[in-house]
Amino acid sequence: MTGPARTPSGGSTAGSTSGHAAAGLTLDSKLNGLLGGRTAGAFEKAFGIATAGDLLSHYPRRYARRGELTAISKLPLDENVTIVAEVRDVKERQMRARRGSLTEVSISDGEGIITLTFFNQAWRARELRPGVRGIFAGKVSNYRGALQLAHPNYELFDEFGGASGSGLADPSALDDAEARRWAEMPIPIYPATSTLQSWQIANSVALVLDALHGAVPDPVPAELRAEQGILPLGRAYEQIHRPEKDGEWMRARDTLRFHEAFVLQSALVSQRRAAHAVKTAPRVPKPGGYLERFDAALPFRLTSDQQLVGSEIARDLAGDIPMMRLLQGEVGSGKTLVAVRAMLAVADSGGQSALLAPTEVLASQHLRSIVKVLGPDLAAELMPTLHTGQLSTAERKKALLRMVSGQAKLVVGTHALLSEKVQFYDLGLVVVDEQHRFGVEQRDTLRQKGATPPHVLVMTATPIPRTVAMTVFGDLDVSTISELPAGRQGIESFSVPLAEKPGWGPRIWQRVAEELAQGRQAFVVCPAIDPADPVEPADPAERGEGDATAAAAGDADGATAPAKANVVDTLAQLKAMPLLAGRRIEALHGRMASDEKDSVMRAFAAGEIDVLVATTVIEVGVDVPNASTMVVLDADRFGVSQLHQLRGRVGRGGVPGLCLLVSHAEAESVARQRVDAVAATLDGFELAEVDLELRREGDVLGSTQSGGRSSLRLLRVVKDADLIQEARAAAFAVVGDDPGLDEHPALRDALERRLRESERSFLAKT
């Protein structure tokens, strides 16, 4: 679209972008040289967009048509929307309560009506005449029972598809073919904000496209483009942003989707090759050494999966190429035991291992579990050591000395292990527990502490679908443990829908009391610590501010609880219940001091506490075999993987588990679907697929994996699984034949650009 983007004051924010294009513009050129500092700053603030390439990768969310109006009846209240509508009526009147005039413009989709209101801007009536159509943007409100956009932004259509300016559209003056083309030409609607409207973004994109003149280096080799039947990159940018017909933006979207997959997979393949290019010290167990003694003392047999994965890890450790392996497995499948065996193999070679855990509670739990499973003799020889940010000065000095001297063969810690003060004598293995809690940068920071590159084992109890593994962990080999140890009693899970069955509330605590009466223990999990805590619904919908279609489809995730459950109130409520009189009920949350948290967990593990009211601080790693019951309040505020993890805290011993997922979400909401899905199956891999299907677009990769905002713009890991596989095969071929990418400079530049974007986003958060 062309022409200025009008603001409520009648000015033109795009006017500052109409300067001459900078000579030699490239995808890496900063926007302030082309758009001006003010507009460039607005893009940086709103979207993190800093370069021409960033802007061209800000793709339209959908396409509208001049002849196709937005359904006004579906507009959500209190949301910023962008709609296409036709002016029906214009009225001007003097205001009664204050001086000045009010201009009211009724616009319609042919059925519903929404009113635009302007104060002291009578000149609007000259532009907004009955019959004209355009794009209107603003926040929807309800005024005396009628929908209203107060002081909206808008752009009217002319016969060229741009702003009306001084000449209003009159489709009736065109011949039939021209009128049909005018009405059907796609109009890109961009993800927008209240400060950057969709058409302002379109104007800025047009300036960049015109300045580039189609001269865009293509990272996809010509022969691969021909094989895939896709467009050159410059033409794809042109057709996705300025299409003349639907077929153009559709083909452009397919092209850019493959570009995303190919560049991403090339980056992962390059990382993998770089990791394999360096040498490390092989770590082989000694006859009669730590690992052999440990295995001989085990009171049970390893599962088949544990044996298989153990063999894969042993083979990697024995080589001179650093292991980069992802170990995924169901909650309670015995991943930590497999990791301990790998640590002992490293210790046999004289090396040290560091286990990085996301929370102090989990780090302390890991240390206690490792000491227990090693037994007193091996523990005394290997000296497992804890290092967290909450240690006293004396404890910290002792831990640091043990690490740097090599006394501590096994080290467990939190982010504190990443400190510059932490040094190792011979770091041979890095184990990262719950990888989704850490970024690639943090994993690599710990790796840098090895004199030679250490082996890396990444563990997660959040099952990862194949496509996500390819997309996020493509630089890692993947091992899976799906078999649970013998003797587990299983877990019964139930969705408790208080929105429809409010009378079920008392029964929740009756069931808890029944379990306690059998000598068992219970967890009660809340999404907040106290009533003042802000709690966002899990997996919030990416509404795309400024896009009415996306907003109308959202349901606020269905989290409609009147008040969020919190630890403080729930603790008081349970202690006051006659049903639980005499029961020992305590709290655990992240604001407690480290020694206090550790004391509470020790008491719960020892059976001295009956009910633990906690936040998700107990989500992973906490192992209390006598805990039989998990009650999750406001379960709709948690994600699928979180609920699955929480449920995994019970049913870990010979006691059957019971999980009650309590929700106020409405029956048909996405949030309720998440809760019901978890209640319906214990299969974490099945839930992982369900999770991907239920998530909103753009929310598949966590920011901790990409370094910042997700690098996926058009690619969808569920829908595009086959495409990702094709792109991965192509990336292996290209990078394999040309590791330095000397013959593919455009691809090399694209990989560097992607890395810079990730670094920029990561640094902005630190």
- The CATH number of the domain holding residue 137 is 2.40.50.140
Which of 146, 165, 185 is the C-terminal boundary of a domain? 185
Residue 258 lies in a domain: yes
What is the tally of structural domains in the chain?
5
Per-residue pLDDT at 24: 72
Report the mean per-residue pLDDT for the chain: 80
Query: What span, in angstroms and rounded, lies between the C-alpha atoms of 274 and 739?
Result: 9
Encode pLDDT of 352-389 as tens digits. 999 998 888 788 888 988 999 999 999 999 999 999 98
Give the residue-averaged pLDDT of 101-117.
84
Distances (CA, A) of 287 to 295, 345, 348, 528: 12, 11, 9, 51
Query: What span, in angstroms and rounded, lies between the C-alpha atoms of 498 and 492?
Result: 19
pLDDT class of 444 with cuts at 50, 70, 90: confident
Q: What is the CATH number of the domain that holds 508?
A: 3.40.50.300
- The answer on pLDDT for 328 being more than 60 is yes
pLDDT class of 1 with cuts at 50, 70, 90: very low
* 679 and 571 in a common domain: yes
Encode pLDDT of 612-658 as tens digits. 999 988 765 567 889 999 999 999 998 887 888 888 888 877 788 99
Tokens standing for 127? Answer: 């532009």
* 578 and 527 in a common domain: yes
Distances (CA, A) of 498 to 462, 506, 562, 634, 732: 28, 11, 11, 10, 52
* 436 and 532 in a common domain: no
Residue 691 lies in a domain: yes
Per-residue pLDDT at 284: 94
Give the residue-averaged pLDDT of 664-679.
87
* 473 and 337 in a common domain: yes
Give the residue-averaged pLDDT of 428-448.
73
Query: What span, in angstroms and rounded, lies between the C-alpha atoms of 756 and 235?
Result: 25
- The answer on pLDDT for 407 being more than 70 is yes
Encode pLDDT of 570-619 as tens digits. 999 999 999 999 999 999 998 888 788 888 988 998 999 999 999 988 76
Per-residue pLDDT at 515: 94
Tokens standing for 367? Answer: 């240390």
Q: Is 81 within 8 Å of 545 (Cβ atoms)?
A: no
Buried/exposed 590-619: b ≥16 CB within 10 Å, e otherwise: eebebeebbebbeebbeeebbbbbbbbbbb
* 472 and 510 in a common domain: no
Distances (CA, A) of 102 to 74, 92, 107, 143, 625: 27, 6, 16, 15, 70
Percent of the chain with pLDDT over 70: 80
Per-residue pLDDT at 546: 33
CB within 8 Å of 683: residues ≥ 6 apart: none
Q: How many CB atoms lie within 10 A of CB 214?
A: 12
* 538 and 515 in a common domain: yes
Q: Residue ranges of the alpha helices (H) in 488-592? A: 505-517, 548-553, 567-575
Helix, strand or coil, per DSSP, at residue 30: strand
Q: What is the pTM of this model?
A: 0.62
Residue 604 lies in a domain: yes
Residue 674 lies in a domain: yes
Residue 710 lies in a domain: no
Per-residue pLDDT at 376: 93
* 221 and 209 in a common domain: no
* 158 and 255 in a common domain: no
Q: Decide the pairing of beta strands 187-189 and 455-460.
A: unpaired
Q: Residue ranges of the alpha helices (H) in 533-639? A: 548-553, 567-575, 594-605
CB within 8 Å of 383: residues ≥ 6 apart: 402, 407, 408, 409, 410
**DSSP secondary structure code for residue 286 in this structure:** P
pLDDT class of 692 with cuts at 50, 70, 90: low
Which of 644, 675, 696 is the C-terminal boundary of a domain? 696
Query: What span, in angstroms and rounded, lies between the C-alpha atoms of 249 and 242?
Result: 8
Give the residue-averaged pLDDT of 186-195.
83
Encode pLDDT of 215-270 as tens digits. 899 999 999 999 999 999 999 999 999 998 889 999 999 999 999 999 988 988 88
pLDDT class of 179 with cuts at 50, 70, 90: low
Residue 73 lies in a domain: yes
Residue 755 lies in a domain: no
CB within 8 Å of 17: residues ≥ 6 apart: 34, 35, 36, 39, 203, 204, 207
Which phi and psi angles does 650 have, rounded to 5°?
-120, 170
Q: Is 593 within 8 Å of 390 (Cβ atoms)?
A: yes
Residue-number span of the structural domain to which 38 is assigned? 29-61+195-213
3-state helix, strand, coil in the chain (%, to 5): 45, 15, 40
Encode pLDDT of 523-535 as tens digits. 999 999 988 875 5
Give the residue-averaged pLDDT of 693-698.
50
* 464 and 342 in a common domain: yes
pLDDT class of 763 with cuts at 50, 70, 90: very low
* 519 and 616 in a common domain: yes
* 510 and 451 in a common domain: no
Encode pLDDT of 503-561 as tens digits. 999 999 999 999 999 999 999 999 999 888 755 433 322 223 233 333 333 333 333 34
More confident residue, 219 or 194: 219
Least confident of 69-83, 331-345, 543-557: 543-557
Q: Is 601 within 8 Å of 588 (Cβ atoms)?
A: yes
* 163 and 57 in a common domain: no
Which of 481, 500, 520 is the C-terminal boundary of a domain? 481
Residue 701 lies in a domain: no
Tokens standing for 309? Answer: 């994965």
More confident residue, 205 or 480: 205
Torsion sign, CA atoms 496, 501, 506, 507 = negative
